[in-house]
Amino acid sequence: MGVLFGSQVGGARGLYLSVTCADDVAFIREQEIPAAVAGTFLGDFRIRRQIAACREWPAAHLGSEALRPVDSTAPVLALSGERDPTTPPANGAAVVSHLKNGRLVVVPHRGHGVIGAEGSDCVVGVIDQFITAGSAEKLDLTCVAKIRAVPFVLPAAQ
């Protein structure tokens, strides 16, 4: 992942750049950057690297209509991790507010990925309910409320 991504390994880098360059970076206004990064640990370092990478990456060119909310009556189940810094629950709520048959489920103690840790079976079960019913209206979310934080464990001192 080189200069843009530091020591991070794995992931679909091409997909990541294709999506973020078209959906996000293309709509960044230079004059908005200072306020957006004020008081952050990295300042404008990360955003400048992303902009530079997108100058080199062949991404779609979306018009401003891509920023308009989608209004739909299709059944939609949206999942968001309670602690997701990338697509926080507030973003999910904004999206679902335009979807007549949409529902946002916020998974407690999770970040950007809501599957892959303890409680994943529960989330997969909720998705199965949605697919089976063809609706997000009457999902049993009892198990979601019981999902606990993954413990932070350090190796024992030797």
Q: What is the pLDDT of residues 80-109, one digit of tens each?
A: 999 998 889 999 999 999 999 999 999 999
Cα distance between residue 139 and residue 112, in whole Å: 22
pLDDT of residue 30: 95
Cα distance between residue 4 and residue 105, in whole Å: 32
pLDDT of residue 153: 82
Say if residues 26 and 61 touch (Cβ distance below 8 Å).
yes
Prediction pTM value: 0.75
pLDDT of residue 5: 43
Residues of the chain with pLDDT under 70: 1-11
- Reading the block at residue 91, the tokens are 């973003």
pLDDT of residue 100: 96
pLDDT of residue 12: 84
SS (H, E, C) 107-141: ECCCCCCCCCCCCHHHHHHHHHHHHHHCCCCCCCC
Domain boundaries, the chain: 2-64, 69-145
